Amino acid sequence: MSYQDEYKQKLRTADEVAVHVKSGDAIKYGYFNGKPQLLDKALAARHEELEDILVIAATMVPPIPEVIQHKNSFLYHDWHWSKLTRMMRNAHDNIIYGPVMYHICEHFVRSGEAANFKDPFPWTWQQVGPMDENGYFNFGPSCSEALSCIELAERVAVEVVPSMPKCLGGNNEAVHISQVDFIVEAPESQRIFAAPEIPPPTETDKEIAKHIIPHIKDGCCIQLGIGGLPGAIALSLGDTDLKDLGIHTELFVDAFIDLIESGQANGSRKQINRYKAVYTFAIGTQRLYDFMDNNPSLATFNVEYTNDPRVIAANDNFISINQALQVDMKCQVSAESMGSNHITGNGGMADYTLGAQWSKNGKSFICLPATRVDKDGNLQSRIVGAFQRGTTTTVTRHMVDYIATENGCKKMRGQNDWQIAENLIELAHPQFREELIKEANELNIWTRTSKIG
């Protein structure tokens, strides 16, 4: 049978696939822009006849999944909350978070450790690009854990999006038609989510970038985490004369485009995957997706590869840059919540914080603005004496290398408690330094001869 004949044999409408779902099933949606749209609508339409359905996904992007509108039928398990997830959680109490170090999420699937993942588990639904002449559907900018989930599911449905960019591998960037049970065709009008534009860096972003850029040398290999600050740093690199930079990251962002097109980031000095910008997923503007389409300078891999600290460390002079929400006087880092208010997720922050420090001459930077404005308009310090009850520690103090704010960049690794506290107070906004000195001393952070301050 030809691939085209097999395609016709497996072609279904979304309703024809959703009708096979039974109460109690777990359905793994593709992460990010791999989330199905037609299949989600068809499943939601059956809410009155279904119950106890677990939908597993990560990083909600528009359009909003329709299943979350029906809490009596569906529980939505999101491994990494986005702004949209937070907004939806305020209105729907059937959204739940699960912490995970991103590099082991494929192991979660294979081992059966993840919530309701069984071997095999019932369903995987994934948005993909059109089938090629060899019978493969490309995952586009959402490689991540997709193939592992497909390999272990009882039934697999792919939703074919005509405009999906073809993202070259790497590894595990596509699924063969022989591994697919059902094919659903999306209309030409269906698009993956593209951000309308990337906000320009703030003055605070630019100041933080100034403190990190001097640590980056010719030939360094760079990772950028999620958030505005890492993107601002990539843009700042374009204003330097740095050359031969490499890219190995979980998230590929718009800011990388100019670095590659200008020749600054050519990957020529990487120890592995030379001349390739390596990543596992991307979210950005349409310009980003157009740049990624059939681009041989990029290579997408499954997350078990990109985020393995041992793989990260294989490139010398690795620079990891991630963004946090708060840091306390003990140098514990929170990037997930503030008190019981859950905001985002760990993702690969711990993976790259560790991997960068295993790299020869590598450095890990955790950056954050020194302050925030609360809902009542009051200025609050992001560097605190102790976290509010319920705050999640994302990176333990023992793993922290550098902390950067607009007030400087300080080495934390290898420092004692007193030195760490002094460094953090210097990084804090001047308005809060006296208060932090008092809190540090109340926490018994001092040497035998002197107190903080």
Contact predicate 369/204, CB 8 Å: yes
Dihedral pair phi/psi, residue 162, rounded to 5°: -55, -35
Q: Are 179 and 167 in contact (CB under 8 A)?
A: no
Give residue 198's pLDDT.
Answer: 82
Mean pLDDT of 377-390: 96
Give me the count of residues in the chain.
453
The predicted pLDDT at position 14 comes to: 98
How would residue 346 be classed by pLDDT, with cut points 50, 70 and 90?
A: confident
Q: Report the pLDDT value the prediction gives residue 434, as an integer from 0 to 100.
A: 95
For 221-266, give the DSSP string. Answer: EEEE-SSHHHHHHHHHHTTS---S-EEB-SEE-THHHHHHHTTS--
pLDDT digits (tens, 9 = 90+) for 139-153: 999 999 999 999 989
Is 175 strand, coil or helix? Answer: strand
**How far is 56 from 263, CA to CA, in rounded Å?**
40
pLDDT of residue 453: 65
Buried/exposed 169-205: b ≥16 CB within 10 Å, e otherwise: bbebbbbebebbbbbbbbeeebbbbbbeebeebeebb
pTM comes to 0.95
Neighbours of 99 (CB within 10 A): 11
Non-local CB neighbours of 200 within 8 Å, separated by 6+ positions: none
pLDDT above 90 for 191: yes
Helix axes 228-237, 203-212, angle to 10 degrees: 60
Bigger pLDDT: 405 vs 449 = 405
Residue 109's pLDDT is 77
Residues 127, 183: Cα–Cα separation, whole Å: 10
Please say if 113 is a catalytic residue. no
Q: What are the structural domains of the chain?
A: 3-185 (3.40.1080.10), 203-442 (3.40.1080.20)
Taking alpha carbons only, the member of 352, 360, 311, 316 closest to residue 335 is 352
Calpha distance 153→91 (Å, rounded): 31
Pairwise CA distance, residues 428 & 266, whole Å: 36
Q: How confident is the model at residue 99 (pLDDT cuts 50, 70, 90)?
A: confident
Omega into 122 within 30° of 0, i.e. cis?
no
Distance from C-alpha of 328 to C-alpha of 301, rounded to nearest angstrom: 35
Would you state the pLDDT for residue 100?
84
426 with 410: CB under 8 angstroms? yes
C-alpha distance across the termini of the chain, in Å: 77
In the predicted structure, residue 291 carries a pLDDT above the cut 90: yes
Contact 232, 209 (CB under 8 A): yes
pLDDT of residue 225: 79
pLDDT at site 116: 54
Which residue in the list 207, 250, 406, 422 is annotated as catalytic?
Answer: 250
* For residues 416-438, average pLDDT: 96
Q: Is the pLDDT of residue 112 over 90?
A: no
Across 290-407, where does the E strand assignment appear? 298-300, 318-323, 326-328, 333-334, 337-338, 341-342, 363-367, 371-373, 379-381, 383-384, 402-405
Q: 95-97 and 363-367 as β-strands: parallel, antiparallel, unpaired? A: unpaired
Distances (CA, A) of 6 to 131, 180, 233: 11, 10, 48
pLDDT mean over 83-92: 90
**pLDDT band at 20, cuts 50/70/90?**
very high
Which SS3 state, helix, strand or coil, does residue 267 take?
coil
**Averaged pLDDT, 199-225:** 93
Looking at residue 305, its pLDDT comes to 98
Query: Which two structure tokens, joined as six digits, stand for 209?
Result: 């970038």
Q: Cβ-count burial of 397 within 10 angstroms (0-12 exposed, 13-18 middle, 19+ buried)?
A: middle
Is it the case that residue 329 has pLDDT exceeding 80? yes
pLDDT for the residue numbered 111: 74
| pLDDT number for residue 118 | 56
**pLDDT above 90: residue 168:** yes
pLDDT at 333: 98
- Name the more confident of 116 and 46: 46
Mean pLDDT for the stretch of residues 162-184: 97
Residue 201: the pLDDT is: 85
In which element (H, E) is residue 432 found? helix 430-442
Backbone angles phi, psi at 385, to 5 degrees: -65, -50
For the stretch 48-75, pLDDT in tens is 999 999 999 999 999 999 999 999 999 9
3-state secondary structure of 372: strand
Look-up of token digits 């950028």: 224
Phi, psi of 326 (to 5 degrees): -150, 155
Average pLDDT over residues 288-292: 98
Integer Cα distance of 256 and 18 in angstroms: 39
pLDDT tens, position by position, 217-257: 999 999 987 767 777 888 889 889 999 999 999 999 998 99
Angle, in degrees to the nearest 10, between helices 430-442 and 417-427? 160
pLDDT grade, residue 347 (50/70/90)? confident
Percent of the chain with pLDDT over 70: 96
> What is the chain's mean pLDDT, rounded?
94
Quick check: 126 pLDDT over 80? yes
